[in-house]
């Protein structure tokens, strides 16, 4: 059975320090480990409001990476991106204001769905 650890830092994205929403979950198995990272609601430092974090109106995204020991932490190996999953990985809109008021809850649900999917795959 996989060990799941919720962590307190962003797992990916160079501008993650500007994101109001950040989750990082380590899933460890005996032979493989991954980091599930979700970021979103990125603040724009030059004007009021939130901006896209990717193309096509993406305001939240989840990415999965293999994990390895980096210093004293098992952390995301961003050179080992995993794309073999079926769950939704992004939340998009024409503009941030078009998203539902509970979009952070939706982002949590998206993150949790991918964590559950990988927890069942990890050996």
Q: What is the pLDDT of residues 66-109, one digit of tens each?
A: 999 989 989 999 999 999 899 999 999 998 889 988 999 999 99
Q: What is the pTM of this model?
A: 0.92
Secondary structure of the chain: what % helix, strand, coil (to 5)?
20, 45, 35
Looking at the chain, the whole-number percentage of residues with pLDDT higher than 70 is 100
Task: Report how far residue 114's alpha carbon sits from residue 61's, in angstroms, rounded to the nearest whole number.
Answer: 11
Residue 47: Cβ within 10 Å count: 7
Residue 30 pLDDT class (50, 70, 90 cuts): very high
Q: What mean pLDDT do residues 9-30 have?
A: 93
């Amino acid at each position: 059975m996989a060990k799941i650890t919720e962590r307190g830092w962003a797992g990916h994205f160079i501008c993650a320090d500007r994101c109001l929403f950040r989750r990082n979950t380590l899933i460890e198995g005996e032979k493989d480990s991954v980091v599930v990272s979700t970021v979103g609601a990125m603040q724009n430092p030059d004007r009021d409001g939130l901006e896209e974090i990717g193309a096509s109106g993406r305001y939240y995204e989840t990415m999965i990476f293999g994990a390895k020991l980096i210093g004293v932490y098992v952390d995301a190996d961003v050179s080992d991106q995993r794309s073999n999953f079926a769950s939704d990985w992004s939340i998009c809109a024409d503009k941030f204001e078009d998203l539902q008021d509970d979009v952070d809850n939706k982002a949590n649900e998206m993150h949790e769905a991918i964590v559950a999917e990988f927890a069942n795959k990890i050996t």
